[in-house]
Amino acid sequence: MNLVRFVILRLGFVLVTVLIGTFFVLPLLWLLTAPFNAQATLRVEWPSPFTLRNFGDVFRNTFAIRALFLNSIIQAGGTMLGTAVIATLAAYALSRLEIRGRNVLVYLLVLFSSVVTGTAAMVPIFLLLYYLRLIDTHLGVILVLTGGLLPTGIFLMRDFVESIPRSYEESALVSGATPWQTFRDVVLPVLRPGMMVVAVWAFVNAWGNFLIPAILIRSPEKMPAPVAIYSFYTEGGTPVLTLISAYSLLYAIPVVVLYLFVNWRYGFRFFGGIKGGGK
Amino acid sequence: MAFLAPALLFIGVFLLFPFIWVLIISFTDTALTGPSAANPSFVGLENYYRLFNASRWMRAGEFGNALRNTLFFVLGSAILGQAPLGLAIALAFHRKKGLVRELVFSVATMAWILPDVAVAFAWIAFLDRDFGTLNAVLGAFGAKAIDWYFEKPLVAITLFNIWRGTAFSMLLFSAALGNIPPSYWETAEVAGANAWQRFRDIILPLILPHFLTDLILITLWTFNTFTPYLITGGGPFFRSETVSMYTYRVAFKFLEFGRGAAVAVVMMAINLVLATGYLLSLRRGRAWR
Amino acid sequence: MNSESRENGYIVLQGLTKHFGLVVAVDRVDLNIAQGEFFALLGPSGCGKTTTLRLIAGLERPTAGRIFIGGRDVTDLVPRERDVAMVFQDYALYPHMTLLENIGYPLKVRGVPRKKLVARVREVAEHLKIADLLDRRPSQVSGGQQQRAAVARALVHEPKVFLFDEPLSNLDAKLRLEARAFLKHLQREVGVTTVYVTHDQAEAMAMADRIAVMFAGRIAQVGSPLDVYREPMTVEVAAFLGNPPMNLIPGRLEGGEFVGPGFRIPLSSTSPSGEAFLGIRPEHLRLAERGETGAIPGRLYAVQPLGPEVLVTAQVGEVTVSVRLFTEELPHLGDEVWLLVDPSRVHLFDSGGKRIR
């Protein structure tokens, strides 16, 4: 009786797991098969004939390659640098300065960045950049993305900063270091893993964002990959599936690689982000 | 203090200032083209009147229509979709390790973090009437082919958003479960509680505050997401247009910023209500402990 | 309290006070610490001893009062300008640096050339027997070795003052005894004025030339370890020193006698009548026969054999009283016990906790 129940439970568990796994995998399959298919359709099928020509076509398209390997990297890279550096400085200052209610402040900022977001935020931000003459510039995209990501970046970074014992800095100060030497020699090296995590997170966010560059970038030579991909249409307006699928795959690969890297190095999890309701 | 300055500058310019400014724009007829482009003038509440004009606001392409679609979308994909599914996965793999867990978590997380455009094309293919994988699978069970884009556009983007966002709930609940000290249910186990009793008496009460947190956050995000636009474009004939897409169309297609700002103000007001709810839920969760 | 007292102390604290918001962590502390002295600040957690140490280091700014080191007023100087060294409770060895870099850090920030730095670090490390570990990182050496590395970092630039903040509390019991002897020996050898913070009275007594016992931000008593042990000036000091601590039995003074629950003890000197505490160290009690004159009656609570001695606890009135018996034999005891005290070894405190005799 007990054995029967065990087997049924076990089977049920396996079945449900397989169903859930399938639900998450199925939509992605097309991205894995179509790029290698010389006659790709919207169908998921074994590539026949198998080919790498689609990628060759993509690489011959200078506009698309420029978007992916130059513009996207400039915009996501700039956002990554800006967010990681500014968030680190701010998180450090917040945790070491005796400011009352600083935890509440960070929470409010994170929440506020969720309020001023998406298309709603783009209305005033577009006009702001318009008057600042930053429309259609890499800098404009980087600034807007960084502004939106910073509160959460600070929030993520804060946990790392607070895990550094105060005695590290105090011992450096007593050893004779200046505050700047203390920051450079002791704090920064210890914070490096945290900066890595925030940098990867900011990069992935900026890399995948469609809305902001779609609204802010006008000229083709500055378009990042997610906007440029919409040029793979025939004159008649039908999508060229071989190119689109190959390009999508190339575009998605950095995110997969970064995910695997973070998962391997630090374990993909919430970095204390759950603390709010936690303890 | 100098360390804080850049962050404060960014947040001030790109979050606080737009938040206030959009309110001002919403009372003007600011536009990038046409007669008022050079010299926007104050129009009072006109933009809001047009938004809530009762005689036509439920028509296709109007604000009311978008709001109703959004309600269905948020309810279906966040509250009835992501949260329960995320909790189910977290519970199923609670205190389990191994390849299966790694795989399911990885694939779900991929769905969450892959670029908007890449997953949008994948889903266009997935939902295609004639060649799409979804119809192929359903067909294998004898179901009739559905033209998702024409027949069920709102259901399609709801399904998409469940797929896209469940990972967050899954990770949150998984972390919350991981935070419960094993001694809690080991004590209950020794005391003679069965699996269901342990879930009901120990896990559920400890998870409940997180559930509220999760609901409010995913509601906030789902309400503001723009990605489904890349699949249906809000169509056909505005049947899958959400408020987020409506704002985009008014402000960036018609370039009527005054009117777009009015929608943005309404959106941010809703966001603000949700965010306040989130804060209150956090405080209650803490006091309860 | 001016130039005169400043001359006879190497570290001088004058009216040192530190408030954290409404909390008074350090309250008008005056101290003179002689050159070369090993000075311990002893007290329970939260008594202000660590804050006092951090004030000397310059990690905190005093609310009031002044600090002098070697005749120089350092009150307004940053830590860098005070030429002190500090060993922290968690050692604060930087995880991203090797022991060589860790120990050499005070030299590096002083601009000492690399070659000289390495030579000096090597010299110190050899002295502390960790020279062969210099290429390792802190996580790759044992707790005891980490502690030595932290001490080496404090030694390396030959500071005027050593500050120790509970440096042994992260070691296990056996290593702690070793480290105690090692630190005491080292301090004698280099002769650097040392302020040592601890909550462990045995540690303070074993190592220090003088002890200051602190409670609630104030110094209750300063003196040599034996003086403080033999003649505690307050009930708190009496109860804090010794293991187990001094027994304190509440009662009354009446006509030259102490009247406790069920017993009377005649006292040699006359004292004013009133409520009082009788203090007896556990080693000054012995077991007596039923009805012996002056014996304190109690109910047996527990018997703990400790090897060289046996610890007996008994309930006397409302309090428990400990007795150390220097015997390896387990005594045969009934439910009731009688304890006898040498009247010349008792301490008396008035109802306010101040010593009477």
Res. C273 pLDDT band, cuts 50 70 90: confident
Contact B286, B71 (CB under 8 A): no
pLDDT of residue C125: 93
Contact B121 A143 (CB under 8 A): no
Of the pLDDT bands very low, low, confident and very high (cuts 50, 70, 90), residue C5 is very low
Question: Measured between CB atoms, which of A168, A173, A185 is closest to C80?
Answer: A173
Residue A256 pLDDT greater than 70, yes or no? yes
> Mean pLDDT throughout B10-23?
89
Instruction: Kindly report which listed range (B51-55, C114-118, C339-343) carries the lowest average pLDDT score.
Output: B51-55
Which pLDDT value is given to residue B37?
64
Q: pLDDT at position C38, please?
A: 95
Average pLDDT of the residues in A47-75: 86
Question: What is the 3-class SS of B105-131, one letter each residue?
Answer: HHHHHHHHHCCHHHHHHHHHHHHCCCC
A196 inside 8 A of chain B by CB: no
Q: Report if residue C33 sits inside a domain.
A: yes
- At B110, give phi and psi (nearest 5°): -55, -50
Q: Which CATH architecture has domain B63-288?
A: Orthogonal Bundle (1.10)
Q: Establish if C355 belongs to a structural domain.
A: no
Domain range for residue C287?
A: 244-350
Contact C62, C28 (CB under 8 A): no
Task: Tell me the sheet residues that pair with C194.
Answer: C38, C162
Tell me, yes or no, whether C303 and C212 share the same domain.
Answer: no
Residues C252 and C127 in one domain: no
CB C324 within 8 A of CB C314: no
Q: Indicate whether C190 belongs to any domain.
A: yes
| Measured CA distances, A27 to A36, A43, B120, B121, B124 (Å) | 17, 11, 10, 10, 9
Write out chain C residues lying below 8 Å of A170, CB-based.
54, 57, 59, 79, 86, 88, 92
Q: Are residues C164 and C271 in the same domain?
A: no
Confidence at residue C3, expressed as pLDDT on a 0 to 100 scale? 40
Please check whether residue C356 lies inside any domain of the structure.
no
Q: In this predicted structure, what is the pLDDT of residue B286?
A: 53
Spatial contact of C258 and C349, defined as CB atoms under 8 Å apart: no
The residue of chain A with its CA nearest to that of B209 is: A277
Which of the four pLDDT bands, split at 50, 70 and 90, describes residue A18?
A: confident
Partners of C349 in the beta sheet? Answer: C277, C355
The alpha-carbon gap from A192 to the nearest alpha carbon of chain C, in Å, equals: 10
The DSSP output letter for C205 is H
Chain segment C285-311, per-residue pLDDT in tens: 988 887 777 788 889 999 998 888 899
Cβ-proximal residues to A258 (8 Å cutoff; 6+ apart), any chain: A200, A203, A204
What CATH number does residue C329 fall under? 2.40.50.140
Nearest to A71 by CA among A233, A202, A243, A229: A229
> Which of the other chains make 3 or more beta carbon contacts under 8 angstroms with chain B?
A
Which uninterrupted H or E stretch holds C218?
Answer: strand C218-223
C220 and C278 housed in the same domain: no
d(CA C103, CA B105): 45
Q: Residue B29 — very low, low, confident or very high, per pLDDT cuts 50/70/90?
A: confident
Give the per-residue pLDDT at A272. Answer: 39
- At C175 the pLDDT is 86
Interface ipTM: 0.86
pLDDT value at A163 more than 90: no
**CA neighbor of C153 nearest in space, from C189, C117, C179:** C117
pLDDT tens for residues C206-254?
999 999 999 999 999 999 999 999 999 999 999 898 888 899 999 998 8
Q: Could you tell me the two tokens for B109?
A: 């997380």
Q: Do A168 and C85 touch (CB under 8 A)?
A: no
Tell me: do C112 and C208 sit in the same domain. Answer: yes
Is there a single domain that holds both residue C203 and residue C98?
yes
Beta bridge partners of residue C300, listed in sequence order: C314
Distance from CA of C42 to the nearest CA of A (A): 21
The answer on C272 and C159 residing in a single domain is no
Q: What is the pTM of this model?
A: 0.82
Name the residue with higher pLDDT: B96 or C229: C229
H runs (alpha helix) in chain B? 5-11, 17-25, 46-52, 63-74, 83-92, 99-113, 116-127, 133-140, 148-151, 153-178, 182-191, 195-198, 204-224, 229-232, 243-248, 257-288
Q: Which of B224, B230, B279 sits opposite A111 (nearest CB)?
A: B279
Structurally, chain C folds into a number of domains equal to 2
User: Which is it for the CA torsion C67, C73, C76, C82, positive or negative?
Assistant: negative
C88 closest CB neighbour out of A171, A176, A185: A171
pLDDT at A267: 66
How do residues A108-120 score in pLDDT, each as one tens digit? 888 888 888 888 8
Residue A98 touches partner C, C-beta closer than 8 Å = no
- Test A167 with C153 for CB contact under 8 angstroms: no
Average of per-residue pLDDT across B111-139: 89
Is residue C230 domain-shared with residue C258, that is, in the same domain? no
pLDDT recorded at residue B285: 57
CB contact under 8 A, A175 and C78: no
Distances (CA, A) of B285 to A270, A278, B91, B201, B207: 19, 9, 21, 17, 10
Domains within chain A, CATH numbers bracketed: 1-51 (no CATH), 62-265 (1.10.3720.10)
**What CA–CA distance (Å, rounded) separates C184 from C195?**
12
- How far does the CA of residue A4 sit from the closest CA of chain B (Å)? 17
* Greater pLDDT, C344 or C328: C344
Which residues from chain A sit within 8 angstroms of residue B123, using beta carbons? 27
Q: What is the per-residue DSSP string for A21-90?
A: HHHHHHHHHHHHHGGGBTT--SS----SSB-SHHHHHHHH-HHHHHIIIIIHHHHHHHHHHHHHHHHHHH
